[in-house]
Structure 1
Amino acid sequence: MPGIKAGNITNGVSRGCDLVPAGTPVGTPNLWFDPCAFTIPGDGFLGHAGRNIVRGPGLTNVDFSMAKDTALSMLGESGKLEFRAEFFNVFNHANFASPEIGLGDTPSAALVFPAVPMNLRAAC
């Protein structure tokens, strides 16, 4: 079929891949693993690389919240006013999304987009 790579058609069974021992982890945002560390096994053979052995970048997220309740006698015994401040991703750490590519994809598909930067919300 034109436009379809033969490696994408699995008929419900995936062969997996073989792990080559000379692989070097790279760790840049565009290349989280060394694609040369994997080979596609021959026809009729299953790969020996384990499932979920390639992990994406870590996630560091610190959220912080402050709240103060103030009693308001003009609203009755249960009347109160709440002041609140919420900080999301306090240290503004860049968190990248996991790569959404396969081993047969082109390197341009390996771009990893950053998640939401620091955010502040105040309410009363």
Structure 2
Amino acid sequence: MTPRLTPYEYAIIQAVPRIERGELINVGVLLYSQRHDFLSALTHLDEARLRALDPAADVDGIRAALDAWDRTCAGGGASEQMRLGERFRWLVAPRSTILRAGPVHMGLAADPGAELRRLVDLLVR
């Protein structure tokens, strides 16, 4: 029996170390599946790529900000009372900070966790 494919939404998490230059690197993926009651961010920060864009980049600060995205997905801090979909929309809202979400895309998958890992391997690593 073939696993049932269900829709999900995802956005690439991007680091923009010098906002005035507009250069960025992909540092993770945020994936939300309403049907699976699933919201998670999986990140991978390539320090060498980041430093190629900005040798003075605050790597520790960026790692801390990425951890905050994980905590928001899990319902920590200000997101505690939010439903998963609200957390996802909050994280993908446009912002001018060192971390931002790219455009939201759609897909189909039977296992959102496995799909998240696949997307990170494809789009980030």
TM-score scaled to structure 1, two decimals? Answer: 0.22
TM-score scaled to structure 2, two decimals? Answer: 0.22
Structure showing greater relative contact order (alpha-carbon pairs closer than 8 Å, 6 or more residues apart): 2
More helix by share: 2
More strand by share: 2
- Higher-Rg structure is 1
